[in-house]
Structure formats: C-alpha cells, structure tokens
Structure 1
C-alpha cells in the first residue's frame, strides 16, 4: 500500500471542503472531514501491521543538481517511529473530528473548520513521513499555518451573529484576543523556524545531503564533521524544536493557543503539533548521540520548562489554560527524556500524553459546552451530579496524568524519572517535584470543576453521544495504554520500547530491582501527596488560591518580561518611523499641492464653453496687437 495515501485522504477532504463548502451543508461537512482522517487511520493501521522494515518511497525529483550531480527527491519514509506517530495523529485526529461534529454544530463557518482540521492533519503527516529535512520543513510550516488558522478561527468572536450591543462588544473583544493569540503563535514559531533552517544549512554543508535515510546510513562516519560542528547543528535544531513544542524561552504562545475552539486545543496540545519538536530530536538521534553538550541542553530545557509549566498551572482559573500549562510541563518531561538519550521513554510518554491530554481537553470542552461557554472554574463545581459520564472520564484523565497506578501516565512518567535518576540527579529531583505539582494542580482542577456545590448560573447537562463516544475511547486508552510498555521489574517486557528500538536507540535501565521499586514508590507517593494536598485544601475551602498565587497566575511574569524587552521598544521604534513617514508624506504632499495650485489657475480657462474660448482668443489678439503697436510707436519716436 503506497505511503502517499496517508496525507492524500485529508488533503482531498481539505480541497473538497474549502472549494465546495456550500455543497456540504449541516453535519455533512463534518462527516466528510472525519471520514477522510479515518481513512488515513485505516491505511496507517494496515501499514503498521505489515511493516517488516523501513519503507522508503521516492515520489519525484524536487531540487535537481543540488551539488555534485546529486538530486533532492520528494520521498516518504516509514519506520516504527514514524508509524507510531501516524497512528497517533490519525487515531486521535479521527476522534477529535467526530467530537467536533457535535461540538461545532451551529457555527457559521462549520465546514471551513473541518477543512482547516483536515489540512492540519495532512501537514502533520507530511512532517512525520518526510524522508528529508526540507520536506519535513514543508510539513513543519504547514502545521504552523494551519495552527494560525485554527487558533484564530473565532477571529470575530463566537457571538458574531448577535446584534445586541453588549453581546456584540464582548464578541469583538474576544475576537481581538483570539486574533492576537494566533499571531503570537505564528510569530514565535518563526523564531524557532530560523533555528531549524540554520541547522539544515549547516548539515548540508557538513554532509552534502539532507536525506534522513542517507544520513543514518553513514553511522560513525558522521563524526568526521567534527564535534563542534555537530554540537552547533544540534543546537540550531533544538531552537526549532523549542519553538514548535513551546519550551523555554519560546513557551508563551502555547498557553494562549487555547483561544481556539476546544477541539483545536486537543489536537494541537495533545497529539500533534506540539510533539513535533520531540519527534525532530528523536528522528535526529544519530546526531544528538554524537553531541553530548547539545543533548544536555535539551534535557535541561525540558526540565526547567516542566517546572515552569507546573508552577504556572497552580493558580489559573481558566479550565483550558490549566491544561495548556500542563501541556507545557509534560512536553518538558519528554524533552528531558530525549535529552538524556532515553528516546523510547520520551516517545512512550508522548503516546500516553496523547491519550490523557486529549481526553482532558475534550472533557473540558464538554463542560464549556454544557455551561454555555463558561470557562472560569470558580463558576463551576458539583458537576459530577449533572454530568456523570464526563465526570468519570475526567477522573480517569486526572489519575493518568498524576501517575497513579494502573493508569497510563504511571508507566510512562516512571520510565522518564528512572532514566533521570540514572543519569542526572538534579534533573530527577526536578522531575519528582514536577510530578508532585502536577498531581496537585490537576487535583485542584478536578475538585473545582466536579466536586462541591454548583457555583454557576447556567443549567449544565450531559453531552450527546457524538461527544461522549470519543471521550469513552480516550478514557479507555488513558487507563490501559500504559500496559503497552510494562517495565521489566514489574514482570513486563517493555514491548513498546523494544518495538521502537528498530528506529531509535533503546537503553535498558541498569539499576537494581530494589532501586527501581524505590523510585516507583517515590513517584507514586508524589502523585498521591499532590492529590491529597488538593483534597485537604478543598475541604478547607482554600483551593481557589494556593501558594505562589501572583507568581503562578502571571506565569512567572515571562510575558511581561517579553513585553518590556521586545514589544515596548518595537512599538516605540514603529511609532517613530510612523511619525517620520507622516512627515515625509506631509512634505511630499505639500510640494504636490503647490505645484497643483499653479496648474489650478489655468483650469479657469478650461471651461468647455466655446464663447469663453472665443473671448480668450480675442483678448489675446488685442494684447498682441497692442504690444506690437506700442513697440512700433517707440521705434518711430
């Protein structure tokens, strides 16, 4: 089965929906978009079941005669790493599409929303299937463009069709905020893209090729480029990964990206775009294995970002923003793992995170939908009685992300912490602290939303089957997904890690069983203590504001810092240039007006009346005759 079918189906869906959207009224547009992604999921599943080794398909020549008569061809490459990513993208993407059929019902641009979702999935598939870095960059930029369209989808607000003054004003304000969030994501990602491009340029200079299979085949010969050159190109690629995955210091766009519709938040924050940085580093493991300095940078960026995201999530009030900062933190875990060369551990957490974070976002969307767009957790509470199904699946997501046995996050997070303990004790301690904070802020999220008495003013209700069905599937995956990779000391064979080892290195832990048990108990204790702390504060009715209140609510003032250092000087320079431009325009306009004034005098004679022209000719003749007469009289005298 050809690989190009994977991105082809969602691309066809995109073309149909964006070009002939008016022909697909009502839910039909959502059905077509969902079927397109579901078809890609079936193709991915069949390819994985028949995958005996890497498959490389060359489609056509792209850049001929790049150097030394070599050609850069457009090709797709499927190994076990890209196969896992394709299953995640198409599987989770299908569930989110189905969920959106009901969630987006009534939106005036319903069909266009599914067109953008299809385009996003297609570009993400091109990114992970690319056989070369330039083609990966095409997908990289494609998902950046799609995320811009989806984050700012409600650029005119959700109530744009309302005519009432107050509603219209609120809608306009929301639209401005959404547009700003989309621009912020687009611009900050361009900063990271510069690093990706510089890394590609340096790689081509060093090796003469950008085709991934060719680079992997060189093996130890890659080291001939020199340690400093390899470190530099890996650091450049890290900048690109930081931008796309919202890591420090380019992290502030990711929490604001939840301005888009909730299905967009689930798609971007859970399983696709934000994991592209983790995929890039894992795909380029053959270089990072030769660059210990750059790898250490990856690990520390991940560790510090995990801590930053956890602290920022502690005192947020927006039901989705808490989850958005949680995504920042969990991505930090993944970066920490791949930076320590524990690629399979990082990819395992990428998989389980796709399950439980998509579940949590979609459950939050069900709450928002039921509360008529209310997103403040202080206006919620007691929803377990009114939305019992959404409550149960949300509880599964909270237990999974908190690392409680038997839920999936327990297995994947424990694997990362064990790797960190083995290689870098300070990072292990940071990871353990983040596990405690994660359980605490997710416990706070759970108790504020689901327990106690209802504090809002809407009339919440359970969602329909179209929304609940994807939630049920994701809850099952979040609960049981960890059993794909049971560690050896628990009697498992680490099946997923060994399966992935054909594509990325697999480093088995060399610790005593008693030590592994101790580390597991410590990780579980951190999760239990975090949830217990949230419960005790909830019982004392002191859970709305917790320690580090202002620091957390303002996300360690990182946005304010950027505004002071970059935005204000830029606005000042722009204002000065604007004044200068206005001055130049005024000068040029004044010159033009003066010249025009002279010409304007002569327009009095251009009246279009023949009598006026005759009188003018007569007067002119009189003047000339008079002049010559005076001159003749002067000559006689």
Structure 2
C-alpha cells in the first residue's frame, strides 16, 4: 500500500497551524522539535514513496475546484508523482529537515522561536505543493505560498534583534536593522510579483492554446496538437518571466542577495534547496513546451549564462560573509538556467541537487561563524577561525571544494556535465560557463582564506565551536557535498550516468555526441579553471591583496545594478508620488477650507440642538419675542 502523497505537505501544514494557533502549548524548544518532526516525517514518506515507486508516474486527485464551471477539468487539486517530483520532494524534506534541526540550536534564544518554526513549516509545505502539483494552477498556489513564506522569513527580524535593549545606541542600531530587514522582505515580495504576472499570463495562454492546464494531459495534447509556433514561444517566454522572478535571474535578480537579511537558516533554506530552484523546476517540468520553442529556450540559456557571469563578478569583492554566498547562488542558478535552456535538463537538475547540498552547507557554516562572533558578518573582521572552530572549518572546506568543481567533490561532476552540454550547444555559452567556473573558485577561495586562514582580526575574545546539534547537519551535508557527484559519473570516467538514467524516465536527457578525447579535454579545462581560481585566491591572500583588483569597486556595488534601478524606476516613482501627495494636500487644503466655511453656520445652529428641553423653551421664547417685536414695529410704522 502506497502512502498518500497529500501527507507530504499536510504534515508540515499541521505543524504550522498548531504553532500559530496554540503557541503556548509549546514552551521552550518544543515548538522547534515539533516542526522538525513534521518535516522528518515528510522525508520518511518521501523515501517510502521513492522506494515503492516504479517506472510509471502516479496521479492522485483529491477533489476538483469549481465543479459547476467550464474549467472543472483544469482545476483539480491533485498531485503528480514521477522521478522529477520524487527527487524534488527528497531534496526539500531532507535538506529542509537538516536546516530545521540546525535552527533549534541557532534560534534557541530568539524571543519569537515558535513563530520562526511555524514559518519554516509553512515554507516547506508550500514548496512541496509546488513540486507535487498536477496542474499549473495548483503549482501557482504553492508558488504564491512560498513567496508569502519568504516574505515572512526574510523580514522575520522586522524590529531588529535587540529592539528591547536598554542601551539607547544598541536599540537605535537594532531599529535600523529592522528597517533594512523589512525593506529586503518588501523588495523580494514586490519583485516576485512581476514574475508572477508572467506565470499567470503563461497559464492563460497555454489554456487558450491547448484547453487544459493539467500537466500530464497537457504533455499528451502537445504532441499531437497543431498550434502556431508563435503562440508556444510566447507562452514559454511568459513562463520564463515567472521563473526569472522566482529564481532571481537577470533582470529581476537584485532581491535575492538582499534575502540574506533573514536569519541564516532562512538563507540556507531559500538559497539552497527550495524557493530559488522553483524557476528551474518550472522550466524542467514544462520541457515538452520548451522543446517546441527554440527561441524561448535560447532566451533561457542566455539569461542563465549572463546571470551566472553577473553573480560571479558581483561576488568577487563582497565583504559580508553571507552576501558572498548569496551572489554565488545567483551565479549557480544561472548555470542551471543555462543547462535547461540548451535542453540539458538532467544536467541542470543534477546541479540543482549538488548545489542544494554544498550551498546549504556553506550557509550553515557561515551561520556557525556568525553565531560564534556574536552576529559579526564582515569577513574583514574574521580570519584564523579554523583554530577556534576546527570541525566547522573542515565542513566549510568541503563545501568550498565542491562549489569550486574540484574532483572528487560533487560540484565537479554536475558542472562538468553542464559545460560539456554548453560546448556542444554554443561556443560563447561554453566560454562564459568556463570563465564563471574560474571566478567561482576565486571568490570562494577568497571567502575561505578571509574567514578561516591567516590571523584572527575580530573583536570577540574567545570564539566558540558550534554545538553538537548544529554539527550534525553540517557533518551530513559535508558528506553529501563530497560524495553526491558519484550518483552521475559519466561513461568516459568509468560510470554509467545512473542519475541521468533515473531522471530520464520523466524528462529528456541530453546525450553527448562528442569524442571521448574531447570530453577529457573539457574536463581538464574545467578542473584547471577550479584549481586556477583557488590558486589565484591563495596568491592574493599571501600578498594581502584580496580586497583589491580592477573590479573591486564595481564588484562591491554589484555592478551598480541596484543604483541603475533606483535611478530608472525607484527615484522617478518617488518623485511622482511626492508630486501627487503635494497636489493631494493642496486640493485637500482648499476643499477643507470651503467645507469649514460652509459648515460654520450649521455648526452655530447645531449648538441649539443639544437635546435639553430648557434650550428649546428658550428658543421658543426668543422666537416669540422676535415675532412680537417685528409686529409691533410694523404697527407703529404703519400708524406714523
């Protein structure tokens, strides 16, 4: 008997509901353990479904939306389980559980501990709905739910971490931090709404073209339908806009680095295993459409390639320990988009898998350092941390070697697959990809040397190692970041492309048609790029020139993209708003004056309407006296 799929998102949703509705029932860290337990239970169910699932996909429909409407067949609440959704469910629940477990210790002293874990549970539940949905409308429900959860988590410290401190300076600094966190949350929310509009337009057009939004039915209809190519291209371009927004690709990329404003476990959850990979998943899931849309696919590849380059250049000279990793995420997501854009869906998803492991590891290692240094995040005030945190140092080093693409670590295998596919598809994309590999190794080498090697430059007297509860996720992720690449060893290295064979039952797998000698050459070049980048970082570390270079200022300012947006969009919008406000105030002032003058007589007479009988009696006497006086004057005047 198969375990129902709906239990996968339902269990974290139950955890969310309990923690939000009855927080007092979970004192201390019990809320964290409940939230972690629900995600662990979902992971166990995901493993059971994976082990019990054959080659054939499964669809489980719970009910239909709007049963009396014409769209009845297109608005089912159901789940679609194949090799792609199985893999995504394992990543979300597995890595999600490790981040929950880490957070029990990391957030242990936060006064909103229970609320934090409620939001984490909600995030995981929405992401599971997104990847298991059997239709685009239900996927969009998860899509929006993840967006809402990210807003709540990025702005979690909306009042700052020390807003109740007695020291005035500390409280003011906390207030400024709270404002920055709130702005980062709003920025993510607003920029993602642009992408959401593209997703919705894509859905509307797909329904117009094919008459269904149920994914398995759509895949069947696409094969035999006679649809104008322009319509398919436009629908795929609309979906690309949605994917660009959710995955932080150019030009909607600036929200993603700011998303690290939330607690470090949030950064690990958003940047590694969940939200930002949703765009890659959307395109891979829609492969049957993109296979018919070469222009849209080319756009996907070039958006990915240019974003990978932008992210790598922006990471070169950052000083925040998490922001370096954030721009790295932008770059690595660009790799994934490049892969799915050229039709190498399996290679892109494989890099999604390895990236989930080594990026979560790097963020959690950074969080351990921040925790040890009392919230210090500037790498210029670190150095020599390996002496204080030997275990975390080793795990962080495993993550650096993985993302740099050094054999035998996982990133070597997944990046090599993408670069080999890019070599076949476009020489320009290949050169960009190889250059990004070199830059990635350099900025991660810089990150490693500034944080872990050299002399300690911080102010905290005795930094401490992460506690046991934080070490467990770090150790597991370090092992996965090291050995996960062996899931897909290529044939020319003695493997059998096991991952490709598994995933190929759900999405197309790009088979290389290049000589073995060329594959060896490409591999040597990729390894040389990784090793060369690390050696360059080591050389500059020895010469103490890591913070300099020709791209220093531009990289520190992320190639000034935020400033460009501020000048082109934000500043004119603020000026327009200020002008409208001034007009509104002026008009309001004029109309208020007229209203006051008009209302003055009424206000005067209203004083008599106070409900007291004596006032009305006086009014009657005065009125009678006035009438008698008026009559007397007329009588006297007439007599004269």
Question: If the TM-score is normalised by the length of the shorter chain, which range does it land in?
Answer: over 0.9
Corresponding position of 2:586: 583
Q: How big is the shift at 1:597? A: 1.9
Q: How big is the shift at 1:544? A: 2.2
Deviations 1:434-464 (A, max 9, x none): 0000000000000000000100011211010
Contact 2:59/2:134 (<8 A) preserved:
yes
Once residues 614 and 362 of structure 2 are traced to their aligned partners in structure 1, the CA distance between those partners, rounded to angstroms, is 86
Corresponding position of 1:251: 253
2:497 maps to which of 487, 491, 494 = 494
Q: Equivalences for 1:155-554 in 2 at 5 Å?
A: 155-222=158-225, 224-458=226-460, 459-554=462-557
Corresponding position of 1:152: 155
Once residues 92 and 496 of structure 2 are traced to their aligned partners in structure 1, the CA distance between those partners, rounded to angstroms, is 26
* Pair 1:118 & 2:159 matched: no
Deviations 1:496-544 (A, max 9, x none): 1110000000121111111100000000000000000000000001112
Corresponding position of 2:100: 97
Deviations 1:564-623 (A, max 9, x none): 110011111111111121122212321221133213333565678777665554443332
Corresponding position of 2:14: 12
Once residues 577 and 485 of structure 2 are traced to their aligned partners in structure 1, the CA distance between those partners, rounded to angstroms, is 52
Once residues 115 and 69 of structure 1 are traced to their aligned partners in structure 2, the CA distance between those partners, rounded to angstroms, is 33
Q: 1:75 to 1:545 in 2, by over 3 A?
A: same
Corresponding position of 1:59: 62
Corresponding position of 2:37: 35
Q: 1:626 to 1:177 in 2, by over 3 A?
A: same
CA RMSD of aligned residues (A): 1.4
Give secondary structure in 1 for the equivalent of 2:510. Answer: coil
Deviations 1:306-338 (A, max 9, x none): 000000000000000000000000000000000
Q: How big is the shift at 1:32? A: 0.2
Q: 1:60 to 1:475 in 2, by over 3 A?
A: same
Corresponding position of 1:564: 567
Moved more, 585-594 or 455-464: 585-594
Q: How big is the shift at 1:628? A: 1.4
Once residues 406 and 455 of structure 2 are traced to their aligned partners in structure 1, the CA distance between those partners, rounded to angstroms, is 26
The aligned length equals 636
Once residues 68 and 440 of structure 1 are traced to their aligned partners in structure 2, the CA distance between those partners, rounded to angstroms, is 53
Q: Equivalences for 1:82-93 in 2 at 5 Å?
A: 82-93=85-96
1:128 maps to which of 122, 128, 131 = 131
Once residues 68 and 238 of structure 1 are traced to their aligned partners in structure 2, the CA distance between those partners, rounded to angstroms, is 25
Deviations 1:240-299 (A, max 9, x none): 000000000000000000000000000000010000000000000000001111101000
Contact 1:408/1:479 (<8 A) preserved:
yes
Moved more, 59-68 or 120-129: 59-68
Q: How big is the shift at 1:68? A: 8.1
Once residues 61 and 578 of structure 1 are traced to their aligned partners in structure 2, the CA distance between those partners, rounded to angstroms, is 47
Give secondary structure in 2 for the equivalent of 1:225. Answer: coil
Once residues 617 and 413 of structure 2 are traced to their aligned partners in structure 1, the CA distance between those partners, rounded to angstroms, is 102
Once residues 128 and 484 of structure 2 are traced to their aligned partners in structure 1, the CA distance between those partners, rounded to angstroms, is 22
Structure 1 alignment gaps of length 5 or more: none
Contact 2:265/2:367 (<8 A) preserved:
yes
Q: 1:625 to 1:414 in 2, by over 3 A?
A: same
Deviations 1:336-390 (A, max 9, x none): 0000000000000000000000000000000000000000000000000100000
Give secondary structure in 2 for the equivalent of 1:375. Answer: coil
Give secondary structure in 2 for the equivalent of 1:249. Answer: coil
Moved more, 504-513 or 407-416: 504-513
Corresponding position of 2:77: 74
Once residues 70 and 124 of structure 2 are traced to their aligned partners in structure 1, the CA distance between those partners, rounded to angstroms, is 33
Once residues 616 and 395 of structure 2 are traced to their aligned partners in structure 1, the CA distance between those partners, rounded to angstroms, is 91
Q: How big is the shift at 1:106? A: 1.0
Q: How big is the shift at 1:23? A: 1.3
Q: 1:480 to 1:70 in 2, by over 3 A?
A: closer
Once residues 612 and 205 of structure 1 are traced to their aligned partners in structure 2, the CA distance between those partners, rounded to angstroms, is 73
Contact 1:65/1:71 (<8 A) preserved:
no
Corresponding position of 2:47: 45
Q: 1:132 to 1:624 in 2, by over 3 A?
A: same
TM-score using structure 2 length? 0.97
Contact 1:63/1:71 (<8 A) preserved:
no
Once residues 402 and 230 of structure 1 are traced to their aligned partners in structure 2, the CA distance between those partners, rounded to angstroms, is 37
Contact 1:420/1:427 (<8 A) preserved:
yes
Q: How big is the shift at 1:22? A: 1.5
Once residues 505 and 607 of structure 1 are traced to their aligned partners in structure 2, the CA distance between those partners, rounded to angstroms, is 83
Once residues 580 and 306 of structure 1 are traced to their aligned partners in structure 2, the CA distance between those partners, rounded to angstroms, is 45
TM-score using structure 1 length? 0.98
Once residues 229 and 50 of structure 1 are traced to their aligned partners in structure 2, the CA distance between those partners, rounded to angstroms, is 39
Once residues 63 and 617 of structure 2 are traced to their aligned partners in structure 1, the CA distance between those partners, rounded to angstroms, is 77
Give secondary structure in 2 for the equivalent of 1:106. Answer: coil
Q: 1:624 to 1:431 in 2, by over 3 A?
A: same
Q: 1:612 to 1:483 in 2, by over 3 A?
A: closer
Once residues 118 and 611 of structure 1 are traced to their aligned partners in structure 2, the CA distance between those partners, rounded to angstroms, is 68
Deviations 1:547-580 (A, max 9, x none): 3011111111110000011001111111111112
